[in-house]
Structure 1
Amino acid sequence: MTTIRISLLISLFSILGLSAQETETPKPKTNTISQQFEDLLENSNNFQDYKVVKLNSLNKLIANTADSISVFKTQITELQQEITAQQQEINTLNNTLEETKTTLDQTRSEKDSIYFLGIPMSKGGYMGMMWGIVAVLALALVFFIFRFKGSNAHTQEARKKLADLEVEYDDYRKKALEKEQKMGRLLQDERNKAVKSTKK
């Protein structure tokens, strides 16, 4: 008997709550889902520890929630596509940066190096080699200058000796010519004496 009374009371309150909600028909707010939940709870009737909710309002909230979820999914998909595009752009920029760094390193290497006989050399090595060549050539020049001076001294000495020898030869030739002339005169004198003696 008590159970029947409780059931009747519950049914009565439910009918009264539904009729009261139908008479009020508040305008639903087209706000956020959380706001719509708050509105639904505010517009529902209380029964003990329960809330009596209109089925139409609940269905509308479910539909709005589904629409919001669909919109959120679309936004998430668009954001994911945007993130993917940005990641691809970042990768492209990173690749371009790496290529730029490689090109810059090659340019610096080419700038800091000099090709000598087709062999790439650093500027320091090239300068060292060139100064080494200059030093070797300078030493060779000094060596040849000393050799030339020595040879020139020998040549001057040889020329002097040759001049002295020519002077001595001229003296010898003059003396020999004088001696030959003297001998010729003596020979002629002897011939003359022999001719005279034969005539007597």
Structure 2
Amino acid sequence: MKFLSKAAVILVVTFLSLQTLTAQNQKADAEDQLSLNSGTIDNQFEYIFRKSGNFKGTNGQKYEAVKFSSLLTLKAHVLDSLKTTYASLANSKKTVENQAKQIEELKAKLTNTQSTLDTTNDEKNNMALLGMQTSKTNYNVIMWSIVAALLAFLLFFIYKFKGSNSSTRQAKLKLEEVETEFEDHRRTALEREQKVRRQLQDEINKNKA
């Protein structure tokens, strides 16, 4: 039991020692990676801070000493970074303006397309009738109304034609009857006239005798 406790203590101490060594190595690596001529501006400032020296003034106050050449180099890097940033911002602004212009052009094209589509739908849904645009429903109603009116007129014409034809046939029959009666009457009148003439001639012949 005591042996297990000692072994556990040894393992814990060993683990903590390894953790400490790992942290120190990581810190050393991080310090080695810092440079004044590479990395981000934040890393370059961190490099300046780490490389600055401490000293006490005559009044006993602590001061941080930084190389002037390092400050000039850092300044140049900051200015270059700012120029790059400003150039990037200018390019971004130009890109945004171009995109805004393209968006406006697309909106205009979309409006024109929508207008053309509306016109096409109107032409599709409407029909020209006597120079006026009307919906297909109204057009169909008007056309079927015209067809119904023409059909009714045709039926009325047929009815009147049949009536007129019947009246004509009846008139012809009556005319034939009248002609027959007239012919009979004329024949009868002719026979009477001939009879009267014979009687008159007989009377004349008697008187001569």
Report TM bin, short chain: 0.7 to 0.9
Q: Equivalent residues in 2 for 1:97-112 (5 A)?
A: 97-112=110-125
Deviations 1:144-168 (A, max 9, x none): 1111122222211111111111111
Paired with 1:27 and 1:65, the residues of 2 have a C-alpha distance of 14
Q: Please name the residue that 1:10 is paired with.
A: none
Deviations 1:26-51 (A, max 9, x none): 96332210110111111112347653
1:35 corresponds, among 9, 26, 43, to 43
Q: Please name the residue that 1:173 is paired with.
A: 186
Paired with 2:158 and 2:166, the residues of 1 have a C-alpha distance of 12
Q: Please name the residue that 1:19 is paired with.
A: none
Q: Please name the residue that 1:18 is paired with.
A: none
Paired with 1:71 and 1:82, the residues of 2 have a C-alpha distance of 16
Deviations 1:43-70 (A, max 9, x none): 1123476532222212221221111111
SS class of match (1:31): coil
Q: Please name the residue that 1:141 is paired with.
A: 154
Higher RCO structure, 1 or 2 (CA under 8 Å, sep 6+):
1
Which range is displaced more, 44-53 or 118-127? 44-53
TM-score, normalised by the number of residues in structure 2: 0.77
Calculate the aligned-residue CA RMSD, in Å: 1.7
Shift of 1:72: 0.4
1:152 corresponds, among 162, 165, 169, to 165
User: Is the contact between residue 126 and residue 135 of structure 2 (CA under 8 Å) also seen in structure 1?
Assistant: yes
Q: Structure 1: where are the runs of 5+ without partners?
A: 1-25
SS class of match (1:68): helix
Paired with 1:27 and 1:149, the residues of 2 have a C-alpha distance of 118
Paired with 1:165 and 1:50, the residues of 2 have a C-alpha distance of 154
> Which stretches of structure 1, 4 residues or more, deviate above 4 A after TM superposition?
47-50
Paired with 1:183 and 1:88, the residues of 2 have a C-alpha distance of 125
Deviations 1:4-36 (A, max 9, x none): xxxxxxxxxxxxxxxxxxxxxx96332210110
Q: Please name the residue that 2:103 is paired with.
A: 90
User: Is the contact between residue 52 and residue 67 of structure 2 (CA under 8 Å) also seen in structure 1?
Assistant: yes
Distance change (3 Å), C-alpha of 1:49 and 1:105: farther
Shift of 1:94: 0.9
SS class of match (1:30): coil
2:199 corresponds, among 163, 186, 193, to 186
Paired with 1:60 and 1:157, the residues of 2 have a C-alpha distance of 131
**Aligned residues: percent identity?**
41
Paired with 2:62 and 2:49, the residues of 1 have a C-alpha distance of 13
Q: Please name the residue that 2:88 is paired with.
A: 75
